[in-house]
């Protein structure tokens, strides 16, 4: 049986994802104003966890640490199976949040957790075709 494929990404590329035929699903605490998409906010980190993490780093801009990972996974583990049942009803889903760097974001922790615990799913970061990028250097 083929695995159900899910992509991950971030809101700044929303238009590109839609052009590629992906269905945007927010896994953030909040969805940007004016964006209409499916919301699965129970997979977002809690406000307390976000505040704690950003308070330790100043901005939250560095790879996630073990404490963050442990706390985040403890929050979402009971929710993941139900969330996946909802997500699998959408064609070409892409899970979105705000952080551009996947190594600094809960979406990577979520993807790893799903890949390790739900073998019928395959979750990976969406990668744009690099051959289509234009070199604008002078």
In a domain, 137, yes or no: no
Task: Give the CATH number of the domain where residue 25 resides.
Answer: 3.90.190
In a domain, 131, yes or no: no
**60 band by pLDDT with thresholds 50, 70 and 90:** very low
Query: CA dist 81 to 69, 84, 110, 121, 123, Å?
Result: 18, 5, 12, 11, 14
In a domain, 138, yes or no: no
Q: Which domain holds residue 39?
A: 4-126
**65 band by pLDDT with thresholds 50, 70 and 90:** confident
State the total domains in the chain: 1
Task: Give me the chain's average pLDDT, please.
Answer: 87
In a domain, 134, yes or no: no
Rounded Cα–Cα distance for residues 49 and 76 (Å)? 12
Of 25-39, 44-58, 106-120, minimum mean pLDDT range: 44-58
Q: Which two tokens stand for residue 3?
A: 């695995």
Q: Could you give the dihedral angle defined by the CA atoms of residues 9, 87, 20 and 31, in that order, rounded to the nearest 10 degrees?
A: -50
pTM of the model: 0.85
């Amino acid at each position: 049986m083929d695995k159900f494929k899910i992509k991950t990404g971030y809101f700044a590329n929303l238009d590109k994802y839609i052009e590629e035929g992906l269905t945007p699903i927010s896994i953030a605490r909040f969805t940007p104003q004016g964006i209409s998409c499916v919301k699965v906010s129970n997979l977002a980190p809690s406000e307390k966890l976000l505040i704690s993490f950003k308070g330790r780093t100043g901005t939250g801009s560095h790879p996630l640490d073990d404490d963050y990972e442990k706390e985040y996974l403890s929050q979402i583990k009971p929710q993941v199976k139900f969330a996946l049942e909802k997500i699998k009803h959408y064609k070409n889903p892409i899970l979105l949040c705000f952080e551009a760097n996947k190594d600094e974001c809960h979406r990577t922790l979520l993807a790893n957790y799903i890949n390790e615990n739900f073998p019928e799913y395959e979750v990976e970061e969406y990668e744009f075709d690099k051959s289509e990028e234009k070199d604008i250097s002078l």
